[in-house]
């Protein structure tokens, strides 16, 4: 297991930690200001959201690299199924391909997939997962041609109805096995998987198919399951234990901090958020 107490170069900022995933949230820093703030603190990587790089992906990617900050990934593909997905199949597939193109222009090696919830008119997850498999398989040749890997991110079961019919690493790996493409893997987010006692076995099964590892914490008394994530160390997740399992499986990439926190961290000075993030990464992760 890597020792981060004196080296946080493997730390990456997901800009959602500053509220950049939602229009009007956070302090509204530009991508350039965020890049400079990361570079100045020795934060080695950054993950952007599509809304903040639209129309400027290549320039923003070049700016990050010039500052010595690695572009780790892009969030995210459109919902592929469920009540929050675009209205038609063509619209979904077109936006999926556009997201892949944006990742390639940005220089992001990984595009994260949040699947979307239960298909309207169906019950349970089986039909919805079948739809996800078909839509992912359809765009994988385009992703491969663009040099972009796709990471299926399971979400906590509390989001099963509308945001994610994919709720465990086991089911994500089952989809990977079913589709059988080296450009498809999984993203492991502490917030969504910390509770799963089967996780160590599934991570060992995943091996090199782990394309991302996301850090935050689950607050024991959360006030909002979507927008009240905890800073590392403030909650009940076994962060070091989870990272140990991920690294034992062969993952040696960036550790990406992604904290949705509308009433706490997004209300603070982003400089403070980044400083706390670095300290907690080195002390509790």
Q: Report yes or no: 273 and 265 within 8 Å, Cβ to Cβ.
A: yes
Cα separation, 16 vs 235, in Å, equals 19
Q: Report yes or no: 21 and 260 within 8 Å, Cβ to Cβ.
A: yes
Q: What is the pLDDT of residues 114-163, one digit of tens each?
A: 999 999 999 999 999 999 999 999 999 999 999 999 999 999 999 999 99
**pLDDT top residue among 149 and 87:** 149
Q: Report yes or no: 26 and 48 within 8 Å, Cβ to Cβ.
A: no
> Taking Cα atoms as reference points, which of 193, 203, 258, 271 lies closest to residue 230?
258
Model confidence at 225, in pLDDT bands (50, 70, 90)?
very high
> What are the residues whose beta carbons fall under 8 Å from the beta carbon of 189, sequence distance 6 or more?
153, 154, 155, 214, 216, 258
Question: Which pLDDT score, from 0 to 100, does residue 29 have?
Answer: 97
Model confidence at 252, in pLDDT bands (50, 70, 90)?
very high
Question: Which pLDDT score, from 0 to 100, does residue 269 have?
Answer: 98
Q: Is residue 6 part of a domain?
A: no
Q: What is the mean pLDDT of the chain?
A: 97
Q: How many domains does the chain have?
A: 1
Model confidence at 271, in pLDDT bands (50, 70, 90)?
very high
Question: Which pLDDT score, from 0 to 100, does residue 274 have?
Answer: 98
Number of other residues whose CB lies within 10 A of the CB of residue 119: 21
Instruction: Record the tokens describing residue 235, joined without a space.
Output: 């909650």
Q: Is residue 1 part of a domain?
A: no
Q: What is the 3-state secondary structure (H, E, C) of 1-22?
A: CCCCCCCCCCEEEEHHHHCCCC
Question: Which pLDDT score, from 0 to 100, does residue 247 have?
Answer: 98
Instruction: Record the tokens describing residue 82, joined without a space.
Output: 């469920």
* DSSP-derived 3-state class of residue 255: strand
The mean pLDDT of 56-80, rounded to a whole number, is: 98
The helix (H) or strand (E) run that includes residue 124 is none
Q: Is residue 135 part of a domain?
A: yes
The structure's pTM equals 0.97
Question: Which pLDDT score, from 0 to 100, does residue 12 have?
Answer: 98
Q: Is residue 5 part of a domain?
A: no
Q: Is residue 115 part of a domain?
A: yes
Q: Is residue 161 part of a domain?
A: yes
Q: Is residue 248 part of a domain?
A: yes
Question: Which pLDDT score, from 0 to 100, does residue 266 have?
Answer: 98
Q: What is the pLDDT of residues 9-60, one digit of tens each?
A: 999 999 999 999 999 999 999 999 999 999 999 999 999 999 999 999 999 9
Q: What is the pLDDT of residues 172-192, one digit of tens each?
A: 999 999 999 999 999 999 999
Q: What is the pLDDT of residues 1-11, one digit of tens each?
A: 999 999 999 99
* DSSP-derived 3-state class of residue 234: coil
CATH number, domain containing residue 57: 3.20.20.150
The mean pLDDT of 217-223, rounded to a whole number, is: 97
């Amino acid at each position: 297991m890597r020792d981060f107490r004196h080296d946080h170069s493997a730390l990456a900022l997901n800009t959602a930690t500053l509220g950049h995933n939602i229009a009007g949230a956070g302090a509204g820093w530009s991508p350039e200001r965020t890049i400079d703030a990361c570079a100045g603190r020795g934060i080695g990587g950054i993950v952007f959201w599509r809304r903040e790089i639209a129309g400027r992906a290549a320039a923003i990617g070049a700016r990050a690299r010039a500052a010595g900050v690695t572009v780790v990934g892009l969030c995210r593909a459109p919902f592929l199924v469920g009540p929050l997905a675009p209205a038609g199949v063509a619209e979904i597939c077109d936006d999926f391909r556009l997201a892949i193109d944006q990742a390639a222009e940005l220089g992001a090696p990984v595009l994260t997939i949040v699947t979307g919830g239960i298909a309207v008119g169906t019950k349970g997850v089986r039909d919805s997962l079948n739809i996800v498999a078909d839509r992912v398989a359809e765009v994988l040749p385009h992703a491969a041609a663009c040099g972009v890997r796709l990471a299926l991110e399971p979400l906590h079961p509390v989001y099963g109805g509308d945001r994610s019919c994919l709720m465990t690493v086991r089911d994500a790996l089952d989809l990977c096995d079913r589709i059988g493409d080296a450009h498809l893997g999984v993203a492991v987010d502490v917030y969504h998987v910390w509770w799963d006692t089967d996780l160590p076995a599934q991570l060992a099964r995943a091996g090199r198919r782990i394309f991302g590892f996301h850090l935050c914490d689950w607050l024991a008394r959360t006030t909002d399951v979507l927008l009240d994530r905890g800073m590392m160390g403030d909650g009940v997740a076994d962060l070091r234990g989870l990272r140990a399992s991920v690294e034992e499986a062969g993952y040696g990439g960036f550790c990406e901090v992604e904290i949705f926190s509308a009433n706490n961290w997004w209300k603070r000075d982003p400089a403070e958020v980044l400083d706390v993030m670095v300290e907690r990464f080195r002390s509790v992760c």
